[in-house]
Amino acid sequence: MAKRRGVSMNILVNATALNERGAFSLVKSLLVEINKSQDFFIKSKLKLEFLVSRKELCEYENESVKVRFDDRYKKSFLEKWKFQNRFLPNYLKKENFQALLSLQNYVVNVPGIRTFALIHQPIPFSNLSFFELEFSNWIKYNLLLKRIIIDQKKYINGVIVQTEWMKSALKKKFGYTCPIQIIRPPVGSIVNNTAPLDKNLKSMLDSSEIKLFYPTNNERYKNNDRLINAIMKYNELNSPKISLLITLEGNSNEFVKFIGKVSYDSIYNVYKNVDALIFPSMTETMGFPLLEAQQCGLSVLASDLPFAREICGLNALYFNPRDISSIVAQLVSFSKIYPGVNSGSEIFDAKNVGTYLDYFKFMLKDFKSNPL
């Protein structure tokens, strides 16, 4: 890609690893916003090329952005290594890009090319023990990715993070001195996500006991087992009874309902029919359910950790996520003030909420202050 006449900057955006769940949603939302904002890119003289590993994203190609499908990153570890360390540096030089924006935590060092990264994986910055992660995640994130993040501070030009606690960790724990911009992703309204619920789930939501909701997965740091034990312990000795609706597969009992994955198209119907979100995760970048619950005016019980404190502020009851008795104590507290506690969207702290275009505005600011 030779530098085009009238184009001040060609940027390669690497998003090949973002192909599942929230990560895929981020890439899609970014491309949608770019499509709606072509005037910005024309005026700013920016041309983008996205590398993606989901073919459906190619439909967002337009005059300002080329979308190239490449799924090598999803194959073997060797293919991933070759893509990152051979293909990507060679492609940046061959196609005459001036900058790289990596949406997957780390960049490659290519002399003469400015590099920026969205760092959104919290595990390297969290104090998780060996037993709080699967062995593969310990190797992948707590050893390899942590080492990469430490090493890249020598040559990276700028970093985007989503929360203040991540920025602080980069500076204090990893010694970053490059510009770091907090850009919290916009959270779209979910009030129209009211597709019909499964009949069994609807029946669970119609029950009379206090209902807590935890959207989660099977990762150990999500703290599912400790939460389930806390729910059972609470119900042994206390009233009113509390039931937990948890988005995992399993055998339900009187107080723990395994509801499986809930379609995002129906999520508002769940939030509006439970009494609180409970969120015992031991690490998150920010935790989208915490934002969604506040948007719905739903009460929140959450881990007493920096990510939750930053997102919820005074709008939550906090517990030590590693202590079952602490979780139970806050369940008791909630049961006593229920239904009088509520965290409405009108008091949601929107500090640092931006748009995806702010990623490129941040890069443009660096280009202007440090011209090539």
Q: Architecture of domain 9-186+353-369 in CATH?
A: 3-Layer(aba) Sandwich (3.40)
* Out of 88-97, 187-196, 271-280, least confident range: 187-196
Q: pLDDT tens for residues 298-322? A: 999 999 999 999 999 998 999 999 9
CATH number of 199-347: 3.40.50.2000
Strands 46-52 and 114-118: unpaired
Each residue of 134-174: pLDDT tens digit?
999 999 999 999 999 999 999 999 999 999 999 999 999 99
Question: What phi-psi label fits residue 118: left (phi over 0), alpha (psi between -120 and 50 degrees) or beta?
Answer: beta
Mean pLDDT of all residues in the chain? 90
Q: How many residues would you count in the chain?
A: 372
Half-sphere exposure of 226 (CA within 13 A, CB side): 22
Per DSSP (E only), the strands in the chain are 9-14, 46-52, 65-69, 99-102, 114-118, 158-161, 180-182, 210-214, 242-246, 256-258, 276-279, 299-303, 317-319
338 pLDDT band, cuts 50/70/90, is: confident
- Residue entry with tokens 């079952």: 324
List, by residue range, all CATH 3.40.50.2000 domains of the chain.
Answer: 9-186+353-369, 199-347
What pLDDT digit, counting tens, does each position of 94-142 carry? 999 999 999 999 999 999 999 999 999 999 999 999 999 999 999 999 9
* Full-model pTM: 0.89
